Amino acid sequence: MTPDESYLGRCPECGEDISEAWLLVKYTKDNGETGIWAECPNCEDVVAPE
């Protein structure tokens, strides 16, 4: 498997793979990590990909 840089993670609700095309917001957490919110193409809900 080749790592895909446009892959954000999986939906915590349904496990669907979420690509960067669904990215809504990128922010920096208090601990310096980058956090993201994306829309799940399956749930049509806003989730934090895991």
- Chain positions contacting Zn ion, by CB under 5 A: 11, 13-14, 16, 40, 42-43
C-beta of 8 vs 11, nearer to Zn ion:
11
* Shortest Å distance, C-beta 32 to Zn ion: 27
C-beta of 15 vs 35, nearer to Zn ion:
15
C-beta of 4 vs 13, nearer to Zn ion:
13
Please state, in angstroms and rounded to a whole number, the distance separating the CA atoms of residues 33 and 45: 23
Q: Tell which residue, 9, 26, 5, 6, has the closest CA to residue 17.
A: 9
Tell me the chain's radius of gyration from C-alpha atoms: 11
